Amino acid sequence: MLKAESLWKSFGNGRAHIEVLRDLSLEINAGELTLISGPSGCGKSTLLSILSGLMYADEGRVVALGEDLAKLDERQIERFRLHHTGFVFQGFNLFPALTALEQVSLPLSYLGFNTSRANKRALAALEEVGLGARANLRPDSLSGGEKQRVAIARAIAKEPALLFADEPTSSLDAASGQSVIDTLHRIARRHDTTVLCVSHDPRLNTHAERVLAMEDGRILSERRATVALEETPP
């Protein structure tokens, strides 16, 4: 579903030249949550940006859903992201004036959904992450973990084949963080979605099915584990 081959990426020049990714290759499978773990500054977020088409590598290539992203022009890559990818960020990125239902339904309008269809799909996504009963609440009435689950619902409402999460638990307590990572894992299994999460939070290592340890722009090791989850979101 998602493959990177010999990625190199650097920023700056001369004395300010920093090599962020160094001949990095990996494959991410559908139906499982893959966690890329490592210290801040090791290149995790840069890698996520390149894999999702937000940034280009200096060398190497990314093949996503059979598409070589480097061969797509700006308009094609924007269309690819709109139709096939979902994003979850550290800061939630919710609009203060909108309810949870409105937050989730808004992106669907860009896909041509009418209001009724968008609201139906949005409510189904909120119910999947355990927030159907809180659909009419605004962010100031939600906890941190609930805000992140609204962000996840917004990402999955499009039914993307690829879901990217950048430090989704770093501002949450342990219980809320576990709830979020388990929700991402459940989505991967239920929808056969390719889910890639990057984090420096070591608490997440025991909740992911596959953990890739990253340091100094390279993948150093891989660990697989069986993670048992309840079928009903917390």
Domain of 79, in residue numbers: 2-224
22 inside domain: yes
Q: Is the pLDDT of residue 81 over 90?
A: yes
pLDDT, tens digit, for every residue of 172-212?
888 888 888 888 888 998 999 999 999 887 777 777 788 99
110 inside domain: yes
Give just the sign of the alpha carbon dihedral 96, 184, 216, 200: positive
Tokens of 108: 């669907």
233 inside domain: no
CB atoms within 10 A of CB 90: 17
Nearest to 129 by CA among 166, 88, 96: 88
231 inside domain: no
21 inside domain: yes
8 inside domain: yes
pLDDT, tens digit, for every residue of 218-228?
999 988 876 55
229 inside domain: no
> Which residues are within 8 A (CB) of 148 and not within 5 positions of it... i.e. 6 or more apart?
88, 92, 168, 169, 172, 176, 180
pLDDT, tens digit, for every residue of 135-154?
999 999 999 999 999 999 99
CATH number of the domain enclosing 146? 3.40.50.300
pLDDT at 224: 84
pLDDT, tens digit, for every residue of 22-72?
999 999 988 888 999 888 889 999 999 999 999 999 999 999 999 999 999
Q: How many distinct structural domains can be found in the chain?
A: 1
Q: How confident is the model over 91-96, as a mean pLDDT?
A: 90
Nearest to 60 by CA among 107, 7, 22: 7
pLDDT at 226: 63
